[in-house]
Each structure stands twice: as C-alpha cells, then as structure tokens.
Amino acid sequence: MEKLTQKELKRLMHYDADTGIFTWLVRNSNRMKIGDVAGNKAVRGNIDIRIKGKLYKAHRLAFLYMEGYMPEHLVDHKNGVKTDNRWKEIRHATSTCNMQNSKISSRNKSGYPGVYWKNDHNKWIGQITINGKARYLGFYDDPLEAALARFTAEHQCPAWECNYRSELSKAIKRTWPNFKFCE
C-alpha cells in the first residue's frame, strides 16, 4: 500500500483548521457524498477516518494536511477533548508531554496529580515522574503542600515545559484563584 501524502490527502478532502473538521472533496463510496463530514468517533473517543481502506486518526491527518508530515510522536489535544481537532488545540508531543496533559484519575483522593496518601507514614506524598522514573518530593501533612512541591518540581524541570496548562495548574487555580502563574 502506498504511503498517504499531503498532496493526495488534499486531493481527497478538505481540513478546516478553525473547526477541526475534514470533509470529502471526492466521492469514494456509495454511502457518502462530496461535502460530507469525514470520520467517525472511535471507541477511545478520537475521530477515525478511513482512506483507501486504511484507518487514520483525524488529529494525525491534520498534521499531514497542515505541515506535510505525520508526527513522529503523539498528537496531544491541549484541551483534553479527543474530538477537538482544531489546529490551535493539537500539538506534536512526546509521550511524556501527552501524559502531563492527562486528566486526574478518578481514583485520586487528593484532587492533585502526583499527590497521594501514604498509609504507613500517615502523610501525603508528592511525586513527579520524569522519563519513566518516579521522583519523590517528600511527605506532607497537607495535600496542598505536596501539590505545591509537585508544582515547583514541574516548573524547575525542562522536561515539563510542554505542560503550560497542566491539571495541577488548574487545581491550584481552583484552590487559590488569585495565584499568579508565570505563563
């Protein structure tokens, strides 16, 4: 099977960077018409588009359409909405960056990412994972203290520069609405 190129993609469909929607420019089946919105919502929440029998993620096709290449790494939805493929809301990201932008787990008891209760110490612990290695930031009586230690670690580590709208930043803003970030 030949590799999909930017030229071929632009011949087959149009991508609206402001809406993130792909529409067909050519008719390729009896079920669709020229101008129809391309793709379907997949089980994991992304939009999948079938082109010449092969399934592609719409956010990856957006990169091919706009930049002329398929991203080497992942494509991160900055706002966390997997169906939002607007050009301003997606970015080429490493798995580290992508994980930094993930939502807080429903099992999280502290309300802050990287902060959890340690029963054997009867304290909150702060933790950050960089390049797959967990780094512990200390034990704290208050989960907010552990969150601030985590937040400080995020902003001191160059590997976290991609995380300008982290879930931790959002959680701290909810706790302290007047907190000034250097964004």
What's the topology of domain 6-93?
A: Homing Intron 3 (I-Ppo) Encoded Endonuclease; Chain A (3.90.75)
What's the topology of domain 98-175?
A: GCC-box Binding Domain (3.30.730)
20-61 pLDDT, tens digit per residue, is 999 999 987 788 899 999 999 999 889 999 999 899 999 999
| CA pair distance 58, 20, nearest whole angstrom | 9
Domain ranges of the chain: 6-93, 98-175
| CA pair distance 112, 152, nearest whole angstrom | 13
What's the mean per-residue pLDDT of the chain? 85
- Under DSSP, the state recorded for 36 is P
| CA pair distance 76, 142, nearest whole angstrom | 32
Check residue 170 and give its pLDDT. Answer: 65
Q: For 168, phi and psi rounded to 5 degrees?
A: -65, -40
Check residue 166 and give its pLDDT. Answer: 57
Contact 24, 11 (CB under 8 A): no
| 8, 81, 92, 182 alpha-carbon torsion, rounded to 10° | 150
- Under DSSP, the state recorded for 33 is -
Task: Pull the structure tokens for residue 51.
Answer: 């082109």
Q: How many C-beta neighbours within 10 Å does residue 42 have?
A: 14
For tokens 């797959």, the residue is 132
Q: How many C-beta neighbours within 10 Å does residue 177 have?
A: 7
Task: Pull the structure tokens for residue 74.
Answer: 């992942």
72-117 pLDDT, tens digit per residue, is 888 988 888 999 999 999 988 877 677 766 777 888 889 888 899 9
Contact 18, 5 (CB under 8 A): no
